């Protein structure tokens, strides 16, 4: 069996992944552009932080070695360890730029079969070595960074070697897919079958199916099936207590759903190795439109009407004035609602007209020139969306805090939530950094009963104190969300960074149940310690 | 606070519930009609089994008494204990008709507040008394029948005293609802707000919100949100380890969903006391149509095309020739597809026309006279649907096995599954009862990746051996479903009767996790022992 990813062989070698920042090295902004960008933010540093070379950095010595039987899977090369030290949150990027590699894993393991996953877990369980499952490392919540300081060693288990679509059931529109496949390679393998998973998170290029499943990722689409959860038929998960393979059926009422325990388990209960996923026919009909609103609250009411209409737009993204201006979709202090509809087999113009009509009925002004302008607006926004993390990294180099967080709450609380977050964050930034923050908001997903607002904060920080300052801002955000009964995350997962908010919102009996489940499946306590739950006290190391 | 259910006070006293059979006593078929019905089944008994009087039956003495503080909540009256002994499966009805009340609970508790639920659990945990949470007792899988024989006593906890809608959020279209409310009383309380839960299982009149949640019930609607699971915003569950209240949000990605652990937990982890449920505007536009097919396989292909079209019909019920004839929807060996569309605010005729067009493209013949005839067919079918359990009971009195079971599998396996079930069941019935079975099939729910077939088996049994014979037939069905990778239940839950199939399909690591979670939440092992999991060995009784 040829184990090379078809997509990789078709497209030639991929550009090198950045070890410190988002995506690939070739797309990082050069120093001059970083400086130009920084100049737009009052109080930003005048020169970019240099990108350190890995060879120049102090990395702790590797404390463990794998047994010879696993030797071919593991690496202690500095570039592997450096690239697997952090996720890609703002605070991760800044720490990497400052050359702090203290949390580096001792080893990076790259299994290419499920058997090899099992072998690594077996060894690690006996050797008191923590295992951090690692898809493509796009976590923005400390999900792949070991911090427990309790184990004899730490292995980052990079799963991107499990990168193939193994089976396609065209009749049922489903496929059995290995969990380490990256978004583009997954879609490349489905395209010849006329099918798509149609799950496009912002991290699409640099995240894996298994990562999406483990973190309950949200896709690009705004309504109906927003999270990957709903696209799962069944999963295979390697736990230290055995392989968990759920039944592949379209629906079941037989006890609590096994998959729902592993969806969102973030590598704490097992390693997802493959899944049967529900697919869709590739859309042949698409249309989009942009509608402008003078007031954000008016726009919220329009979006609510749309979300409760049963029309299920593929896209229903509301940008507040700041967000709309940044994305060059709207100017003049107006909010912009980007609507999109798609269908494989049926024309969509009628549905789009209904949606625009609803928006107009609720005070919206559709973009004047119809299809072409609307498509341009949507396209402009999409390019900006994908470029955003690279701009974030460029700003980080200018000591500008540029970070996002997201949440969800019901419609009755939404206007208050958005207002409170804006006010509290601006106040905290002023107090913490002494500068004025830009706090923008968009809705990324909408439901009949509520929506998921996504906030962007940009503010100059004091060089050298960026992480501490951001942590203060984030703590204030978490406090507001908790006080108003909004979730600490709609689709970025919990990891280690969201633990305070998660611990507050998680019901205590469920915490007991989850802890008991983890103890049953991972008795040695090696799987991603500190994520979701506090690491269990160590038994005597036996390895 | 007036604790009487508004619906009960508005509609006057309800007809008396049958202690032995489905629904209310006034709707049970009289002896003559039972005999007429039995005469249609070759080999049926000539006279109906008499319905025993409770006073004439041997019921075991109640072994436990509640402490005085709970005295006002509990009853050991024979009619209470008899009515809470069984669910409403065929095998339950037959055992009741034969006067077998050995599994009767010692007490029936009727808490009217969450505090009273907690008090009963506290006492029972300390007294080694099993607690069987009981909504309205419509389980068809032994979900409310204690069989463990291990505890000092058994309490059936009847939750129908928790029957109120507590709060309505019109903006977010959601309501906080007590779990013991019956379907009609729930809808009565939502109607003044123009809202509906729109969850209509066949048991609607005789089942509760909490029962639907605990068993992952399936509603009447055929696509999209088929199970109650998707209608839940948050739940309150009283466990012996504390109250589990999940955050009320439209969506979240913060760890594994707490609600999904309790959905389908069937009273083994806690007692659901209330939930925030997602509601809908009451539909103002409805249309339906019936389409006939000469071959069932052809019809399956048409239904698959519809399920993958994104048109989301409210109803998409495919009846095979036997089922269609019984329901008087079609004659002449044709299958019938009943399609329905609904919307609160938008006309639906266009969507219905698209659906009928798809069916026609795949070989269907729409009912000739359009709307009126189609509505008649749909209406005829619905009346037959609601009357079905009463006919089942009448046939039970004639010693005719008349029972249903259901499953789900992906489209690729569906034709083979339906054929195999028909063949194996006919063979088993022939071997077991010596008579010919009628095995009919309909699809109750359809998904883009598969469907849920629902089978009805009618066959004369030997008087006195009905239960044993049905158990043989059911075992054969379970075997076929397991062999073909179909779920043991799509929406009837596991209870005790489905344990063999459930144990086979449930992944072993998940069983370990579930057992650990139960041990954490219900350390005394009192909650619905034997459902989903084997009861834990008893600690020394301390009560």
**Cβ(B17)–Cβ(B24) under 8 Å?**
yes
Query: What does the alpha-carbon distance between residue A398 and residue A388 come to, in Å, rounded to a whole number?
Result: 15
CATH number of the domain encompassing residue B100: 3.30.465.10
Does residue A273 sit in the same domain as residue A305?
no
Does residue B483 sit in the same domain as residue B522?
no
Determine contact: A138 vs chain B, CB below 8 A.
no
Asked if the Cβ–Cβ distance from B254 to A172 is below 8 Å, we say: no
Task: Answer whether residue B2 shows pLDDT above 50.
Answer: no
- Tell me the shortest Cα–Cα distance from A100 to chain B, in angstroms: 28
The residue-averaged pLDDT of B306-329 equals 93
**Which residue's entry shows tokens 């008191």?**
A128
Which pLDDT score, from 0 to 100, does residue B376 have? Answer: 65
Determine contact: B542 vs chain A, CB below 8 A.
no
Determine contact: A280 vs chain B, CB below 8 A.
yes
Does B2 fall in a domain? no
Asked if the Cβ–Cβ distance from A233 to B410 is below 8 Å, we say: yes
Q: Residue A332 is part of which domain span?
A: 285-500
Does residue B266 sit in the same domain as residue B295?
no
For chain B, first and last CA: distance in Å? 35
Task: Answer whether residue B422 shows pLDDT above 80.
Answer: yes
Asked if the Cβ–Cβ distance from A509 to B244 is below 8 Å, we say: yes
pLDDT range class, residue B288, cuts 50, 70, 90: very high
Task: Answer whether residue B542 shows pLDDT above 60.
Answer: no
CATH number of the domain encompassing residue B424: 3.40.462.40
Asked if the Cβ–Cβ distance from B264 to A244 is below 8 Å, we say: no
Does A142 fall in a domain? yes
Query: What does the alpha-carbon distance between residue B120 and residue B127 come to, in Å, rounded to a whole number?
Result: 10
DSSP assignment of A240-255: TTEEEE----S---SS
Size of interface A-B (CB pairs under 8 A): 287
DSSP assignment of B77-90: -HHHHHHTS--SSH
Does A385 fall in a domain? yes
Does A30 fall in a domain? no
Does B330 fall in a domain? yes
Does residue B326 sit in the same domain as residue B233?
no
Render each residue's pLDDT in chain A as its tens digit; 543 residues. 333 344 444 456 678 999 999 999 999 999 999 999 999 999 999 999 999 999 999 999 999 999 999 999 999 999 999 999 999 999 999 999 999 999 999 999 999 999 999 999 999 999 999 999 999 999 999 999 999 999 999 999 999 999 999 999 999 999 999 999 999 999 999 999 999 999 999 999 999 999 999 999 999 888 999 999 999 999 999 999 999 999 999 999 999 999 999 999 999 999 999 999 999 999 999 999 999 999 999 999 999 999 999 999 999 999 999 999 888 887 789 999 999 999 998 899 999 999 999 999 999 999 975 544 555 666 776 777 788 999 999 999 999 999 999 999 999 999 999 999 999 999 999 999 898 999 999 999 999 999 999 999 999 999 999 999 999 999 999 999 999 999 999 999 999 999 999 999 999 999 999 999 999 999 999 999 999 999 988 765 444
Burial code of B312-346, b = ≥16 C-beta within 10 A, e = fewer?
A: bbbbbbbbbbbbbbbbebbeeebbbbbbbbbbbee
**Per the confidence metrics, is the pTM higher than 0.90?**
yes
Q: B539 burial class (0-12, 13-18, 19+ CB within 10 angstroms)?
A: exposed
Task: Answer whether residue B212 shows pLDDT above 70.
Answer: yes
Task: Answer whether residue B539 shows pLDDT above 70.
Answer: no
Closest residue in A to B258 (Cα) is A510
Interface of A with B in 437-466 (CB under 8 A): 445, 447-452
Does residue B294 sit in the same domain as residue B231?
no
Asked if the Cβ–Cβ distance from B519 to A516 is below 8 Å, we say: yes
Number of domains in chain A: 2
pLDDT range class, residue B83, cuts 50, 70, 90: very high
The mean predicted confidence, pLDDT, of chain B is: 94
Among A216, A255, A408, beta carbon nearest to B494: A255
Identify the active-site residue in B90, B221, B390, B454. Answer: B454
Q: Beta-carbon neighbour count of residue B172 at 10 Å?
A: 26
Does A185 fall in a domain? yes
Q: What are phi and psi of A469, to 5 degrees?
A: -65, -45
Residues from chain B contacting residue A534 (CB–CB below 8 Å): none
Does residue A241 sit in the same domain as residue A137?
yes
Determine contact: A306 vs chain B, CB below 8 A.
no
Q: Which of A500, A519, A534 delimits the end of a domain?
A: A500
The residue-averaged pLDDT of B118-126 equals 98
Among B411, B490, B517, beta carbon nearest to A172: B411
For residue B221, indicate whether it is catalytic: no
pLDDT range class, residue B354, cuts 50, 70, 90: very high
Asked if the Cβ–Cβ distance from A227 to B251 is below 8 Å, we say: yes
**Which residue's entry shows tokens 């606070």?**
B1
Which pLDDT score, from 0 to 100, does residue B11 have? Answer: 52
Does residue A403 sit in the same domain as residue A436?
yes
Q: Tell me whether residue A177 is annotated as binding.
A: no
Does residue B112 sit in the same domain as residue B180?
yes
Q: Which of B494, B516, B535 delimits the end of a domain?
A: B494
Q: Tell me whether residue B164 is annotated as binding.
A: no
Determine contact: A305 vs chain B, CB below 8 A.
no
Does residue A176 sit in the same domain as residue A310?
no
Does A10 fall in a domain? no
Does A12 fall in a domain? no
pLDDT range class, residue B331, cuts 50, 70, 90: confident
Does residue A311 sit in the same domain as residue A374?
yes
Q: Tell me whether residue A153 is annotated as binding.
A: no
Does residue B442 sit in the same domain as residue B353?
yes
Q: What are phi and psi of B445, to 5 degrees?
A: -140, 140
Does residue B475 sit in the same domain as residue B487?
yes
Asked if the Cβ–Cβ distance from A452 to B250 is below 8 Å, we say: yes
């Amino acid at each position: 069996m040829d184990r090379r990813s078809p997509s990789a062989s078709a497209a030639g070698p991929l550009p090198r992944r950045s070890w410190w920042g988002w995506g690939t090295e070739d797309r990082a902004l050069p120093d001059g552009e970083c400086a130009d960008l920084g100049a737009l933010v009052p109080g930003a540093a005048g020169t970019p932080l240099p990108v350190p070379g890995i060879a120049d950095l102090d990395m702790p010595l590797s404390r463990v070695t794998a047994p010879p039987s696993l030797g071919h899977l593991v690496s202690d090369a500095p570039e592997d360890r450096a690239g697997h030290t952090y996720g890609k949150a703002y605070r991760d990027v800044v720490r990497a730029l400052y050359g702090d590699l203290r949390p580096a894993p001792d080893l990076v393991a790259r299994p290419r079969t499920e058997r090899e996953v099992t072998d690594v877990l077996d060894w690690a369980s006996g050797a008191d070595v923590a295992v951090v499952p690692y898809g493509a490392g796009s976590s923005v919540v400390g999900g792949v960074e070991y911090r427990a300081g309790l184990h004899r060693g730490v292995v980052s288990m990079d799963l991107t070697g499990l990168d193939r679509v193994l089976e396609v059931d065209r009749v049922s529109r489903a496929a059995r897919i290995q969990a380490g496949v990256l978004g583009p390679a997954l879609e490349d393998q489905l395209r010849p079958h006329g099918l798509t998973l149609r799950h496009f998170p912002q991290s699409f290029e640099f995240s894996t199916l298994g990562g999406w499943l483990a973190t309950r990722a949200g896709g690009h689409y705004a309504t109906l099936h927003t999270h990957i959860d709903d696209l799962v038929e069944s999963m295979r998960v390697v736990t230290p207590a055995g392989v968990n393979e759920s039944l592949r059926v379209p629906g079941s009422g037989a006890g609590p759903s096994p998959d729902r325990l592993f969806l969102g388990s973030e590598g704490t209960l097992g390693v997802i190795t493959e899944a049967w996923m529900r697919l869709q026919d590739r859309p042949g009909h698409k249309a989009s439109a942009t509608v402008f609103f003078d007031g954000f609250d008016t726009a919220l009411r329009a979006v609510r009407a749309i979300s409760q209409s049963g029309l299920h737009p593929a896209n229903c993204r509301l940008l507040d004035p700041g967000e709309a201006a940044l994305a060059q979709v709207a100017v003049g202090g107006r909010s912009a609602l980007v609507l999109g509809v798609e269908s494989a087999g049926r024309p969509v113009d009628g549905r789009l007209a209904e949606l625009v009509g609803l928006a107009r009925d609720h005070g919206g002004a559709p973009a004047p020139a119809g299809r072409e302008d609307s498509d341009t607006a949507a396209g402009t926004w999409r390019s900006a969306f994908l470029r955003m993390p690279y701009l974030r990294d460029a700003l980080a180099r200018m000591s500008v805090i540029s970070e996002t967080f997201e949440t969800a709450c019901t419609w009755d609380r939404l206007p208050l939530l958005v207002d409170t977050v804006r006010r509290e964050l601006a106040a905290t930034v002023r107090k913490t950094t002494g500068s004025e923050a830009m706090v923008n908001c968009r809705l990324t997903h909408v439901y009949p009963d509520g929506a998921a607002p996504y906030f962007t904060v940009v503010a100059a920080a004091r060089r050298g104190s960026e992480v501490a300052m951001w942590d203060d801002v984030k703590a204030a955000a978490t406090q507001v969300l908790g006080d108003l009964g909004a979730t600490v995350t709609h689709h970025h997962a919990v990891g280690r960074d969201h633990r305070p908010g998660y611990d507050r919102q998680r019901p205590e009996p469920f915490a007991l149940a989850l802890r008991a489940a983890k103890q049953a499946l991972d008795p040695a306590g090696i799987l991603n310690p500190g994520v979701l739950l506090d690491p269990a006290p160590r038994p005597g190391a036996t390895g």
